[in-house]
């Protein structure tokens, strides 16, 4: 069932096109679906399966059509990809599932120490296909570890794109020169990097602008958690951020999402959660409009580090 644009909260953020795939600018990150507590913590409790499935189905009801995931998003008994498959298959035509490859985890959850080889990247793509129950992947991001050249690995994904296993390619955790290197091989539709209020660098701000100039989506991760990263967004907030949230009757997380979306029409937010109430609040932030004085307050908090 397709819902009219004006009747779903996610539509308030507007849309962007990943290659030829239109997505609403507020999406859902799947990293927190497999477990409660900190992501990738082997001691974290598995999330209730029915709750995780509900969050995914509720996100689509709210108009979210961009879900970010990875085969390495798993806990002892839960896999984000398999939850997505269970909740949303058969997939709607307008649903875009973006995954990433590069890092690897063994069955115990330990990270592999090296960047994936071209052959391992193909295996990771095939693993994502199996887990998601797809015959092709909408978008695959190559996640970079360190600053080494990426031509061989990105070229391997470009070959899989030519074979029809991947529709579009993106990059994650990159430096500016990686974008140039990749675009010389194949089109890049998105860049996924750490960026959030109080948690960024001048280099990342410049990369965000470069992506806008080139028509490439910029997709911040940890836009709510900021410097909290995998631990989540539970750290104490900057006084001005708390005061503004209180005066607007919204949460500081909603302000962070709204600020992120304000950074440009090519900026997409993918806040991650496995909590139904947090999901509703995150998507509602798509409709939060900030005045110039409010933006000035947030920009000042951003420059101060926000936390």
90 cis-preceded (ω within 30 degrees of 0): yes
CA atoms within 13 Å, Cβ hemisphere of 36: 8
| Complete DSSP assignment for 257-269 | HHHHHHT-TTB-B
Can 222 be counted among the known catalytic residues? no
How far is residue 83's CA from residue 121's CA, in Å, rounded to a whole number?
A: 22
**Which residue in 73, 154, 221, 259 is the catalytic one?**
73
How far is residue 24's CA from residue 20's CA, in Å, rounded to a whole number?
A: 13
Which residues are registered as beta bridge partners of 21? Answer: 18
How far is residue 164's CA from residue 8's CA, in Å, rounded to a whole number?
A: 32
Residues 6+ apart with CB under 8 A from 3: 61, 63
DSSP 249: T
**Residues recognised as catalytic:** 73
């Amino acid at each position: 069932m397709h819902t009219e644009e004006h009747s779903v909260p996610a539509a308030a953020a507007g849309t962007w096109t990943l290659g030829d795939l239109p997505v609403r600018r507020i999406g859902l990150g799947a990293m927190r679906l497999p477990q409660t507590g900190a992501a990738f913590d082997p001691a974290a409790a598995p999330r209730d399966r029915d709750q995780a499935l509900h969050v995914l189905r509720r996100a689509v009801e709210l108009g979210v059509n961009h879900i970010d995931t990875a085969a390495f998003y798993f806990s002892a008994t839960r896999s984000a990809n398999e939850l997505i498959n269970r909740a949303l298959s058969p997939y709607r035509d307008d649903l875009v599932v973006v995954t990433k490859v590069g890092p690897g985890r063994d069955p115990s959850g330990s990270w592999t120490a090296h960047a994936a080889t071209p052959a391992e990247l193909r295996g990771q793509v095939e693993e994502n296909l199996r887990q998601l129950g797809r015959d092709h992947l909408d978008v695959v991001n190559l996640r970079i570890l360190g600053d080494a050249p990426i031509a061989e690995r990105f070229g391997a994904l470009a070959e899989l794109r030519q074979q029809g296993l991947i529709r579009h390619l993106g990059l994650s955790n990159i430096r500016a020169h990686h974008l140039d290197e990749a675009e010389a091989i194949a089109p890049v539709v998105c860049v996924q990097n750490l960026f959030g209020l109080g948690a960024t660098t001048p280099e990342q701000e410049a990369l965000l602008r470069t992506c806008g100039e080139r028509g490439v989506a910029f997709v911040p991760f940890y836009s709510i958690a900021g410097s909290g990263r995998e631990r989540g967004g539970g750290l104490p907030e900057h006084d001005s951020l708390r005061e503004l949230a209180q005066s607007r009757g919204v949460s500081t997380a909603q302000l962070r999402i709204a600020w992120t979306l304000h950074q440009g029409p090519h900026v997409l937010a993918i806040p991650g959660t496995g909590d139904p109430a947090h999901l509703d609040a995150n998507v509602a932030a798509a409709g939060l409009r900030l005045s110039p004085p409010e933006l000035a307050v947030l920009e000042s908090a951003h420059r101060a580090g926000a936390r």
